A and B are shown apart, each in its own frame.
Chain A
Amino acid sequence: MAELKLQHIYKRFGDVTAVGDFNLEVADGEFISFLGPSGCGKTTILRMIAGFEKPTEGIIAIGDEEVSNAGKGYFLAPEKRGIGMVFQSYAVWPHMNVVDNVGYPLKIQNVPKEERHQRVMKMLELVHLEEYGERFPNQLSGGQQQRVALARALVARPSLLLLDEPLSNLDAKLRESMRFEISAIQKELGITVIYVTHDQSEAMTMSDRIVVMSMGKMQQVGRPYDVYTKPVNQMVADFIGLVNFIPATAKGDRVFMQGYEGMSFPNPKRLSGEAVLAVRPENISISKTGGMVEGVMHHRFYMGDSIDCRVKVKEHMIRVIHKGARYDDYHEGDKVYLDFDNVMTFSKNE
């Protein structure tokens, strides 16, 4: 029922196009993340879905109902959309205690007092705050306020839940545990979730699909695995995970590494002319005896579970994450050989 459709959405603020031609269909019960650097338009889209911003062009539909149609000048106010939302700042009302905060959406719907209390308590149980009902927000920690906001967003049983960078104000440990809690609650309630974040590990672990955004445009949408292993362009490859870009030249069915013309890789995209090779640091293996390319160990950083190396290959500085090695296996200045695996190719301006 809560499938969400966004068709040809544009949002302009004066001359600035914050969002350009955005299209997306979200299935019922799906967990979708909008991922991108700040200013990429992800929050603007979320606010258009919520009804806090009017799209300049395009249609937004929740289930079978259009909530915004710029062409017809139709726009449904946020309070009539039946959506739950968690804000980055939590937006827990400081003048109401936890029970009143969580119960507010039900109060607006005139749910009788007893039923209201029951449902609020059930929600508080879900977010593990059943002991905190009488507390006021200033007596709660950031993580607890976060849970109150989540309970408030869920109490009216919305079919669509919007989360706007909900974990960005929490410390690292708490962020991780909240991540799994939100996932678990989503599975339990079978609710559709749109989750905005700039943290790729949040997006990767929680989502069914990720929408990668940049400069107001959707760059790629797909399962976390696909987005990571088959990024459509350099921006996506760079934003998700770590990557080395090496200038190259494409000719025929091969792509030749610049400065190391003996080394070439397959050219599945049939590129020609200036190109870029992209390879993730963990897909490079290092050895003393032989490999595709020869280089010099320039610097090593000990990371505990791995060694983060910089290897100079001709004029290129290549980052290699070497797992399972001992720190003393290699030293600065040593001659080393690298093997590249899962090499991606992009045209220069892609």
Chain B
Amino acid sequence: MKRSLPRFDSKFIVIAVSVLLLLYFIVLPLLVLIYDSLFINGVFDISNYKDVYGKKVNWQALTNTIQLSLIVMVASVVVTFPLAWLVGRTDLPGKKTFRTILVASYMIPPYVGAIAWVQLLNPSVGYLNDFFKFIFGLSKAPFDIYTMGGLAWVLTLFYSPFAFITISRAMEKMDPTLEEAARISGSSPLKTLWDVTLPLMMPSIVAGGLLVFIAAASCFGIPAIVGMPGNIEVMTTRIVTFLYMGDEKGIRDATALAVSMMVVANGLLMFMSWMLSHKDYTTISGKSTRPNMVELGKWKWPAFLAVSGYAFIAVILPLSSIVVTSFLVSMSKGLALNNFGIDAWIPVITSSQYMESVWRSIGYGIVAACIGTVLALFIAYLSVKTNITGRSIPDLLVVLGGATPSIVIALALIITFSGNYGLNLYSTMWILIVSYLVKYMTMSVRTIAASLSQVHSSLEEAALNSGASWIRTCKDIIMPLIGPSIVAGWFLIFMPSFYELTMSNLLYGADTKSLGVLLYELQTYADTQNASVLSVIILLIVLIGNIILNKVTKGKVSI
């Protein structure tokens, strides 16, 4: 008791400070957003909602969003479940490589994917369209990316990794003897899949699907690049349009749309975690037998071709398109051998304007990651390692931030931190960094908390018992054990912050234009080549980050 009393005090101060910070930067802005959408000049008034949903274009955006997200969700699950099963549970050749490729598409910024598919499938000069025209002698381009179908296509390819990761993780965690028990009971492999594997996977399938739904509905980059040229509006693009109007009415309309999005997204996520906690199928597991791999037999090579085809279309084709485009001398001359060179690269890497944005984004990412990791460490420690009342409140607040669509966060920060509530961060780098922290800290907390919870408290107690102080215990025992997860937590904030678009696009000022915003502008001004060069730079940095991360965590965590 004597020893724990002073520790209790310092922990209490830490918890109080972190709760206050989180309340101020996460909860207050969201409350202000809700208040502003429901009250006009201090009087309760739902006319904002009436106005917004009274207009056909907004209704259209809402139905588009729901329709698209549903299609993307279903398509992602339908494509992902067999992929996860083939890669995780069968003797598919090269499955390790496939797994890496499929997970890797998760780290490609979605808007880069959108740029790539515009290059491939735009009706006038799309590479693939040209290819098909040439092969089949068509007079007209067979595909048009600027349609609902095109939008659903790109969204599915770039958000299905959410479902793939969720489903394949659950599949790996499943006790393989549950399937073997069905086989020995007389059930064929296919019937086992249907009777045992699928039902046991159902919570994860639903969870993966919902993640995709929310991600697709909250996405701004892809609809902005693929949808806008075809006059297809979704909720996020509507919100941005309203904000661009710049007047008070525009902002109020935007808040009404944003609040509706927030309610749906957080509601779905709450339902998801409720469902997962109530359908806990983790069972007692015995010695770890090597999961019994289903032999595909004569289906081995057809399955290999199908998975290869998917990996090619989903990852290799778009990445190649970006890289190839960046190395074209002249866009108009197309893919000819004498048309390759680094001509497009020179002006980009010598342009101080472009390079400033690159360094700026790296800098913002580093600042956000450093602050975020320290906070995440405190929050994870409190929630996992202490038994103070309210220890999990900071964790919950962080989850709330991460669950809120980016565009909603950005809008909430704009209206809150323009000076009315103590701070004026408008157009400073800090509003960008706050937004990154609100959105991305949750992954970092999860990762660090997961590894902290594996450091049994007896390890700490043994150190205290050996006479080490609490600080010394942290340094000698806890840090070495959770070090890799801290590095992972750092990168989990750095990477998405570094290439963030949605929030940066609303929050940047004259001197804080980030890389994502610059790239988006280049793409909308139809400067595809410079956009490609910058995309390749982003991809390289993300790749390097992932390699470092892989080395440090020995492959346990990657983005």
Contact = CB atoms under 8 A, between A and B. Distances in A.
Given A79-B183, A85-B184, A95 B284 contact: no
Contacts of B184: 50-51, 78-79, 81, 83-85, 153
Given A92-B283, A94-B200, A94-B281, A87 B180 contact: yes
B331 interface: no
A95 B200 contact: yes
B186 A91 contact: no
A104 B283 CA distance: 19
A172 interface: no
A105 interface: yes
B141 to A, nearest CB: 48
Contacts of B281: 94-95
B186 to A, nearest CB: 4
A80 to B, nearest CB: 8
Nearest to A164: B286
Given A52-B292, A85-B181, A91-B181, A105 B284 contact: no
A91 B183 contact: no
A83 B180 CA distance: 12
Interface residues of B, number: 27
Contacts of B185: 79, 104-105, 108, 152, 156
Interface in A171-199: none
Contacts of B199: 95
Contact of B180 (A78, A82, A109, A137): A78
A116 B426 CA distance: 71
A88 interface: yes
Given A52-B180, A142-B284, A169-B284, A91 B200 contact: no
A153 to B, nearest CB: 8
Interface in B150-202: 175, 177-178, 180-189, 191, 195-196, 199-200
Contacts of A79: 183-188
Contacts of B188: 77, 79
A139 interface: no
B287 interface: yes
B124 to A, nearest CB: 52
Contacts of B283: 89-92, 94, 137
Contacts of B284: 89-90, 142, 145, 169
A294 interface: no
Contacts of B189: 77
Contacts of A85: 180-181, 184
B339 interface: no
Given A152-B181, A165-B286, A168-B286, A93 B196 contact: yes
Contacts of B186: 79-80, 82, 105, 108-109, 156
Contacts of A78: 180, 183-184
Interface string B277-313: 0001101111101001000000000000000000000
B182 A104 contact: yes
Contacts, number: 92
B291 to A, nearest CB: 11
A250 to B, nearest CB: 41
Nearest to A84: B184
A337 to B, nearest CB: 46
A7 to B, nearest CB: 22
A137 B287 CA distance: 20
A92 B285 CA distance: 11
Contacts of A88: 177, 286-287
B293 to A, nearest CB: 10
A108 B95 CA distance: 31
Nearest to B179: A91
A81 B186 CA distance: 8
Contact of B175 (A83, A84, A89): A89
A38 B177 CA distance: 18
A232 to B, nearest CB: 28
A190 to B, nearest CB: 20
B145 to A, nearest CB: 42
A137 B286 CA distance: 16
A104 to B, nearest CB: 5
A46 B86 CA distance: 26
Contacts of B191: 108
Interface string A235-275: 00000000000000000000000000000000000000000
Nearest to B183: A78
A270 B51 CA distance: 105
Contacts of A82: 186
Interface string A89-115: 111111100000000110011000000
A43 B178 CA distance: 17
A78 B180 CA distance: 9
A91 B180 contact: yes
Contacts of A169: 284, 286
Contacts of A152: 181, 185
A169 B287 CA distance: 10
Among B180, B184, B283, B284, which residue has the most Cβ atoms of chain A within 10 A? B184
Contacts of B280: 138
B278 to A, nearest CB: 11
A153 B186 CA distance: 11
A88 B292 CA distance: 15
Contacts of A149: 181
A78 B181 CA distance: 10
A88 B199 CA distance: 22
A169 B177 CA distance: 15
Nearest to B285: A89
Contacts of B287: 38, 43, 88, 165
A50 B285 CA distance: 19
A88 B183 CA distance: 16
Contact of B181 (A81, A87, A138, A142): A87
A89 B178 CA distance: 9
A138 B289 CA distance: 23
A89 B189 CA distance: 20
Among A47, A93, A168, which residue has the most Cβ atoms of chain B within 10 A? A93
Contacts of B292: 52
Contacts of A80: 186
Interface string A34-51: 000010000100010011
B196 to A, nearest CB: 6
B66 to A, nearest CB: 30
A146 to B, nearest CB: 10
A89 B183 contact: no
A304 B301 CA distance: 66
B279 to A, nearest CB: 8
Nearest to B181: A91
Contacts of A105: 185-186
A112 B177 CA distance: 27
Contacts of B183: 51-52, 77-79
B201 to A, nearest CB: 10
Given A47-B289, A51-B184, 12 more contacts: A50-B184, A79-B185, A80-B186, A83-B184, A87-B177, A87-B180, A91-B175, A91-B181, A92-B181, A104-B185, A152-B181, A168-B286
Interface of B: 175, 177-178, 180-189, 191, 195-196, 199-200, 280-281, 283-287, 289, 292
5 contacts: A82-B186, A88-B287, A104-B187, A109-B186, A156-B185
**A-B pairs with lowest CB-CB distance, top 10:** A88-B286, A89-B286, A91-B181, A105-B185, A91-B177, A108-B186, A87-B177, A78-B183, A85-B184, A94-B281
